[in-house]
Structure 1
């Protein structure tokens, strides 16, 4: 099986000066990656809790990840877009010994040491460090949205990460030393799909930051200069990029492989992409954070497009089995399944089960197996994905209800082609609303939400109601509320 740390040692020996990670003008070679990671691992080797890795698309964040794996403690990635209150919640649950801050901002926390990138500026970097990470140790913990307002820390073991990486390497038809693109923030597990397969195959990882995403010209410039071969992103990001008129095989002859995960790949998007890149390998993959990024794949071809709409998610990877439980809920079994939510036995026991010494994860996704392919048909709860970000509507509603002027709140996802395109918030206020104050109140609610949630979770539109309808058994009638909003 692929071992990430062993691969990095081999790359340092065989291609030490090759660039491993690139962000704008910042680069780190394979020799630097390994020696920086060794140096940090020596500092944190006695840590009894994961290393918090904080920043946004800094190559030193990946150094911190590798160092934490070498040290045996694992890591928790936190992007700068995460609100301060949420950061404090995560740090309170993890209780780290160390935080690696890759930004210029000052950070101070009690009972832990904050390290910055000066830790890598020592006179003598450490050339060798014996890994303390074992297969069943936790390599990383990624926090996702939780229905109670508390984010859930999904723990992934090192053997699960290696198994996933090996599978991705087997799907990659371009071989070693490729130029990989990573679009996802490191706090989003889609980034794992590009980081480790790229590093395992001695590739160069190119990091796309928020500025590039907001300014397509910068993104276009990066794509031209980097000569990207392997593209990893959400379908939504690709949809945005397809607005660039020259994003096609004629202009980007090096771009030969695409991997999509994190949300539904729309048929029209896949069709347009295949028309633009007829020689490319295009993969649709599926998987929750709790099952190590992705567990199924299918290569999208003209035949697949002609046969299926919506598109299937394909078949499970080696070592993973899929089955259906009540309500056609998809259940994933295998070494890919998470160890559970960190310090959260109640929620862990609700979705993680052990049967015949094998772990199972109950996804909450509705699925069907037809024509020898798996399809996702919806959710059995209120969890949705928007622009690749998984979130639970109940968490957003919980935070909306914490706003002083709000009495009750419901979040309604707006769908187009079976995909969530936006969220709309429906609220009942504590006091009647004067029509002249509507925009002011909407502004106040959104400003309050920005203090506790990432912007992508904040409803685009807020609608006011005097009261909510109830079902016959006294529960909120979500279906009727949604019908009223979307009418």
Structure 2
């Protein structure tokens, strides 16, 4: 029985030692080389990080980044990717959450890190030490790994303004990816084009699908998504077969008429998630690559990537206007619970989607929020059964399939990221001219309403860039004399959305 991700990595390295494992635009690494490099690096990391703790990594997405992910695992630790473009305040919050003293970083981020309360361990220095210690690899920590130890921590937006770190174990990744690769027939013959940033859990499916099968992962430069012709050339040159992308990434090609330039005809699997796929965009893809299998995936970070899927039947065109999120993965259980914690099974009845199974994350690192959403199944009185309450509303259709409805609260999914609108509102009201704000999400855009003094948009945006990632900054800022209220005295968001429609 395999207890850790490293068991799968080493097995793949034995099967395909000289096959390319990961490749970027400048370099590549074979499976055998990856194991040897990660082990060598772990000799240095083990001296800097205690077993079972987080290893933050701030390196631009590349083969080298992947080497350090696995070096972290060989060190008996877990990795967490830090995006260098994030504001200092957000990175500082992530540092405090993980309670780390050191960070692995590229030397070009030295100035940024000097402003933060953390010691940078630069890649160039580690590489030199690792080369000297290559023959001194000690597998004692690797042998101590058990399947409930953490693999990675991915941060999500927090309603309190503090990002939450979702911790996912070896067992969760093993149980999910084993099922994922079998269901969607991912094999050693596949070339996977990695689109997702490494702090977004879509990338987990790319990295570990390859580890489990021997497929090759090609790391697509972020810049290429601004130039569809470059992106399509890349997909064709690398003979890409598999896309596991966020919806917005697929839409870049289809909305900009990329297929009029070239069609990457070797693609045979297109899996998408993170947002609702616009029907018109899906039609464009299906029209131009008709033989591919199209799969709609659903699931939050807290349940290891996805908990349900829907395979669009081949030959069905155009696709349905509202895609189902389908059925649960075989090793996961989905429960729809109403406000009284009663099980809902009737068609067209909305309820909160909750998930049970070994793919449920360990919880949030260093956060009392864990106790609020990782809870005992209220339907199960005889034994312990942990579920994750997603906060998403869903329903069964008359066809027996699950359909996503929306959020119970103000949390949204935008550009592939989980976002709490409350966090944005809190940052906006820090502006001296603004007394209150309310954000709404409609037509795939965040719009912010505010009261106080009318203020130039550029002034608000300039302030927000100091504390928020770009994807969390609203597209519109709308001044309003006073907020419309419901009979309960709450801001009437429906009326705000109506105002946007009338603008």
Q: Same fold (TM over 0.5)?
A: yes
Partner of 2:447: 424
- Structure 2 segments unaligned to the other structure (5+ residues): 340-350, 378-382
Q: 1:212–1:218: 8 Å Cα contact kept in structure 2?
A: yes
- Structure 1 segments unaligned to the other structure (5+ residues): 416-420
Partner of 1:418: none
Partner of 1:333: 356
Partner of 1:173: 185
Cα shift at 1:58: 1.9
Partner of 1:443: 458
- Distance in 2, Cα, partners of 1:306 & 1:217: 26
- Distance in 2, Cα, partners of 1:125 & 1:266: 50
Cα shift at 1:93: 1.4
Larger mean Cα displacement after TM superposition, 477-486 or 394-403 = 477-486
User: What CA deviation, in whole Å up to 9, does each residue of 1:375-418 have, x standing for no partner?
Assistant: 11111111111121121111111111122222111112122xxx
- Distance in 1, Cα, partners of 2:136 & 2:210: 22
Q: Which secondary structure does the structure 2 equivalent of 1:298 belong to?
A: strand
What is the TM-score with the length of structure 1 in the denominator? 0.91
Larger mean Cα displacement after TM superposition, 145-154 or 163-172 = 163-172
What is the TM-score with the length of structure 2 in the denominator? 0.88
Partner of 2:475: 460
Q: Is 2:35 aligned against 1:12?
A: no
Aligned positions of 1:355-374 closer than 5 A: 355=377, 356-370=383-397, 371-374=399-402
Aligned positions of 1:102-117 closer than 5 A: 102=106, 104-106=108-110, 107-108=113-114, 110=117, 112=119, 114-117=121-124
Aligned positions of 1:64-463 closer than 5 A: 64-102=68-106, 104-106=108-110, 107-108=113-114, 110=117, 112=119, 114-121=121-128, 122-123=131-132, 125-126=134-135, 130=139, 131=142, 132-243=144-255, 245=257, 247=259, 251-302=263-314, 308-327=320-339, 328-345=351-368, 347-355=369-377, 356-370=383-397, 371-415=399-443, 421-429=444-452, 432-433=453-454, 438=455, 441-463=456-478
- Distance in 1, Cα, partners of 2:324 & 2:418: 19
Q: Which secondary structure does the structure 1 equivalent of 2:109 belong to?
A: coil
Q: 2:283–2:318: 8 Å Cα contact kept in structure 1?
A: no
Larger mean Cα displacement after TM superposition, 58-67 or 38-47 = 38-47
- Structure 2 CA distance for partners of 1:468 and 1:221, relative to 1, 3 Å: same
User: What CA deviation, in whole Å up to 9, does each residue of 1:265-318 have, x standing for no partner?
Assistant: 233333322221121111111100010011111211256666843011111112
- Distance in 1, Cα, partners of 2:420 & 2:209: 29
- RMSD over aligned CA atoms reads 2.3
Q: 2:353–2:391: 8 Å Cα contact kept in structure 1?
A: yes
- Structure 2 CA distance for partners of 1:369 and 1:18, relative to 1, 3 Å: same
- Distance in 2, Cα, partners of 1:456 & 1:188: 13
Q: Which secondary structure does the structure 1 equivalent of 2:108 belong to?
A: coil
Number of residues of Structure 1 aligned to a counterpart in Structure 2: 473
Partner of 2:345: none
